[in-house]
Chains A and B, each alone.
Chain A
Amino acid sequence: MLLDFLQDNGGIVAIFLLFFLMLLSVPVFVAMGVAAFAAALLLEDPFQAFRTFINVGWQSASIFELVALPLFIFTGTIMQRTDAGRDLFDITKAWVGGIPNSMGVATITACGIFAAVSGSSIATAATVGLVAIPLLLQEGYGERRAGGFVAGGGTLGIIIPPSIPLILYGVVTETSIGQLFIGGVVPGIIMMSLFTLYALMSRPRITVQHSQTLAEKIAVSRRSLGVVLLPVIIITAIYTGIFTPTEVGALSVLYVVFLGYVQKRLDVGKIKAAAVAATTTTSMLFMLIVFGQYFAHFLTFEQVPQAIAAAIIENASGVYAITLMILAYVILGMFLESAAMLLISIPIFFPVAEQLGMDPIAFGIFAVIAMEIAQISPPVGVNLFTIHGISKIDLWKIARGALPFLLIQIGMLYLVYFLPEIVLWLPKSMMR
């Protein structure tokens, strides 16, 4: 009886096991692999389950587009060790120093510029945060806002290209990574503008002036030029498409190494430390990708996503279905790490989005904004952990400070659904 029930619902068993194992604090990639493998053992001959495990694992690992991943991660870890954060912050502070809440605005702007170099929210938040948080605290923004600005602004790291999650999404859904990158530019700029607007208006107002003379501004800008040029180079290279995203990743590694040596801020020890950090992150993501895809493969084979998509479409349509999806993302995002959430949710929600008539590129941006929400929503949010790690500000305080950013992001989700042109216009203009 029980066995029959379990065999008829292999996909549900796998999902249940996954959440059970995750609650037991089993590492997420292990939980995904074990859950799908155990459910497969229920359904098929053990040797077949064993062979499928390794075949699918290998197929999920050998995807050339993934090679871009370590390259963009390494670029970020090198920049962290060459004081790029200070350069960015100095230059933004120099140019916006005269306005109210100037330090807050400078923080968001620095995050936006760093986002155009780094593919990760954590790196963006950490790099800018290390410099910005002490200064924000010193000027009286308070711990809640100081932490919140950087945690929120840091999420720009994955919407403004390059973006590690967009690479993952492109790989899993076989959508062009180059076009996804370009699709993130306009929504990224809109989001950054809204963040800036919030930073400008947040209370209490801080009116400490940082006015500098034009000569000083130019001096600061020249000193920081190397770092500020990189995002321009990266976005141009991706947009004109002279190089593939992977090649842009390789070239930016060489660029930051070269720059670091020219500026005398880099040595062999720092490169090694940057490589250690990048390897750690790459391996962590790699295992999530490989076994996340194995889990997704099992669900797809059991036709779970198809069933869920059909159920959502039958019972809700248009804005209700989207709201349902957003709700699901917000709840999942509270408890799951963002990359794990993406890998678990895409196979289920991608068919729903297709049914709702969303373009795969627009949905990619949608999914990445949902990930940003996951990164700053408590209790599990990597940006919250990052800021807590570097500043020791209380986690819940940071989460409260990041709440306005989270609300803006929910608004952005609807915007992308109702007005996908903001995503699609730029990649389409590139087509001609």
Chain B
Amino acid sequence: AKERLSISTWGSPKHYQVAEFIPQFEKLLKDKSKGEISMKIFAGGEMVKQQFVPTAIPQGTVDISLTLLDNWSGTIPEVSILTSPLWTRSMEWSRDNLKPGKPIFDYFDAKLRSQGAVVIAMFDIGPPVISANFEVTGPDSLANMPIRVYSKGSGEVIQALGGAPTVMGVGDVYSGLQRGTVKGALGGLGGAVGLKHYEVTSNMFVPNGVMGTLIHAYVMNKDRFEKLSPALRKAVMDSALEARNHMQQFAIDKQTALLDQVRKAGKKVTVVERDGALWKGFEKKLEPLTAEARSKYPADLVKMVTSN
């Protein structure tokens, strides 16, 4: 029987998490399933908006969707560890370790399965950056600054730095920054550059992972997945992995180019060097949150995230 899977993404369709994944995935899956599986593709949140994925996928509104794992904090509190300062892994580490069969992937896959979703690909789109109209010179620079955050975990980090986490719709961030509704916005580098937040801000602060990162995934409705034949299930997983490897590498290579684009626009870019003075300063300031995370999350998970 022919299968047709619906796949939904949100955010800019030009973002590498979409543009470097979906076409590859579609083609690979067609080949690997020998034409058994075709796809129906929806972009820009027209089917499922970002924050609704955690109910829409288990409930089968679409078969597969892009998701920010931190958006699952309403049912799986453990996901917020990925956005916490405990997470200091590099994108290269993620490239090699957020794969089926590796502990962190399997841990969250099991968690999502208990909610009715299967993780078919997991990746690091890069640590979030702060597009701001002020310069971040140290961990105290964010004090009292209204900063737009995108999820629960990111809000907690900003709060720990003394900033005022502000919730606003994705569409309002550009104008919010421009008009000073918020002084800065935390978000993925790809999105910040794609949505041209640098046009309306003077500075970009690149924490480089000292404030956690953005782990995204493609997830599939569990019933739909399990109704596929074992061969087709394998085709889905293999295609997703291959497309994801391509996209993850693309994302890694793209980071420098994106920062250059911001510099070229005449904006000041402050990069936190790993284990440099700025890094240590932030690490110290975030220590209470890190300690809290250490005790709040299950010990086995903490170990997976922090051990070498």
Q: Which residues of A contact B (CB under 8 A)?
A: 48, 51-52, 55-56, 58-59, 63-65, 170, 174-179, 240-244, 297, 300-301, 303, 431
Contact = CB atoms under 8 A, between A and B. Distances in A.
Interface stretch (B44-52, B123-131, B238-246): B44-52
A244 B172 contact: yes
Contacts of A177: 171
B61 A431 contact: no
Interface stretch (B100-108, B175-183, B184-192, B270-278): B175-183
Contacts of B181: 241-244
Contact of B171 (A55, A176, A301): A176
Given A59-B49, A300-B42, A431-B199, A64 B61 contact: no
B174 interface: yes
Given A55-B55, A176-B175, A65 B47 contact: no
Nearest to B200: A431
Q: A interface, by DSSP: helix, strand, loop or mixed?
A: helix
B23 to A, nearest CB: 17
Contact of B60 (A51, A176, A178, A300): A51
B61 A55 contact: yes
A430 B143 CA distance: 29
Contact of A176 (B45, B46, B55, B174): B174
Q: B interface, by DSSP: helix, strand, loop or mixed?
A: mixed
B72 to A, nearest CB: 16
Chain A to chain B: the 9 pairs with minimum beta-carbon distance, closest first: A241-B179, A51-B59, A59-B52, A55-B61, A178-B175, A52-B61, A55-B59, A55-B56, A176-B171
A174 B172 contact: no
A56 B46 CA distance: 11
B172 A176 contact: yes
B61 A300 contact: no
A64 B49 CA distance: 13
A174 B50 CA distance: 13
Nearest to B174: A176
A64 B46 contact: no
B199 A301 contact: no
Interface string B158-173: 0000000000111110
Interface in B8-62: 40, 42, 44-49, 52, 55-56, 59-61
B6 interface: yes
A21 B180 CA distance: 48
A371 B114 CA distance: 47
Contacts of B44: 174
B172 A59 contact: no
B179 A303 contact: no
Contacts of B52: 55, 58-59
Contacts of B49: 59
Residue among B46, B56, B180 having the largest count of chain A Cβ atoms under 10 Å: B46
A407 to B, nearest CB: 35
Nearest to B224: A48
Contact of B169 (A52, A64, A297, A303): A64
Contacts of A176: 171-172, 174-175
Nearest to A242: B179
27 contacts: A51-B59, A51-B60, A52-B60, A55-B56, A59-B48, A59-B52, A59-B56, A63-B169, A64-B169, A65-B171, A174-B45, A174-B170, A174-B171, A176-B171, A177-B171, A240-B179, A241-B175, A241-B179, A241-B180, A242-B181, A244-B168, A244-B172, A244-B181, A300-B46, A303-B40, A431-B199, A431-B200
Given A178-B175, A241-B181, A301-B47, A48 B60 contact: yes
A25 B296 CA distance: 57
Given A175-B171, A241-B175, A51 B61 contact: yes
Given A176-B174, A242-B179, 14 more contacts: A55-B55, A58-B52, A174-B170, A176-B175, A241-B179, A241-B181, A242-B180, A243-B181, A244-B181, A300-B46, A301-B6, A301-B42, A431-B178, A431-B199
Nearest to A45: B60
A56 B179 contact: no
Contacts of A55: 52, 55-56, 59, 61
Contacts of A242: 179-181
A243 B174 CA distance: 14
Contacts of A59: 48-49, 52, 56
A175 B45 CA distance: 13
B266 to A, nearest CB: 14
